[in-house]
Amino acid sequence: MRRTHARTPAELVAARPEPEFQLTFDGRPIRGLPGQSIAATLWSAGILTWRTTRVHGRPRGAFCGIGACYDCLATVNGRPNQRACLLPARPGDAITTQEGDGYAALDR
């Protein structure tokens, strides 16, 4: 019986991922990888919540992961109400905790 060592999917297809990059969450530097969503980047940094609810201030993060529930809303580069599970992370992105509806500091 012939045995081979276990290989990762990246090794099997000879993938060469691009290098990681830096972005920030509430001013704290975190690392991201090309192809990750903002939610995945936050999760990999150990950050599970990045928004509070409008009425009771309860913490929220990613729930469905496909953009249907809107629990993952975040303020990204000064733009509130961005769905972190759908938005690709990019080098230099500034993600901040969103409180309530995210429009408190903006003129309507």
Q: pLDDT tens, 42-74?
A: 999 999 999 888 888 888 888 888 888 888 999
| pLDDT on residue 43 | 94
Read off the pLDDT band of 107 (50, 70, 90): very low
pLDDT of residue 3: 57
Farthest CA pair distance, the chain = 70
Q: Per the structure block, which two tokens stand in for 90?
A: 């990019």
Q: How would you classify the pairing of strands 79-83 and 21-25? A: unpaired
Read off the pLDDT of residues 78-103 as tens digits, 9 standing for 90 and up. Answer: 999 999 999 999 999 999 998 877 66
Domains, the chain, in order of start with CATH, read 36-100 (3.10.20.440)
Instruction: Report the distance separating Cα 53 and Cα 72, nearest Å.
Output: 11
User: Is 108's pLDDT higher than 50?
Assistant: no
Residue 51 burial (10 A CB sphere; 0-12, 13-18, 19+): buried
- 7-23 pLDDT, tens per residue? 777 777 776 778 999 99
Residue 79: the pLDDT is: 93
Contact status, residue 39 vs residue 85, Cβ threshold 8 Å = yes
Nearest-10 Cα torsion for 57, 62, 63, 67: 110
How many angstroms separate the CA atoms of 16 and 104, rounded? 43
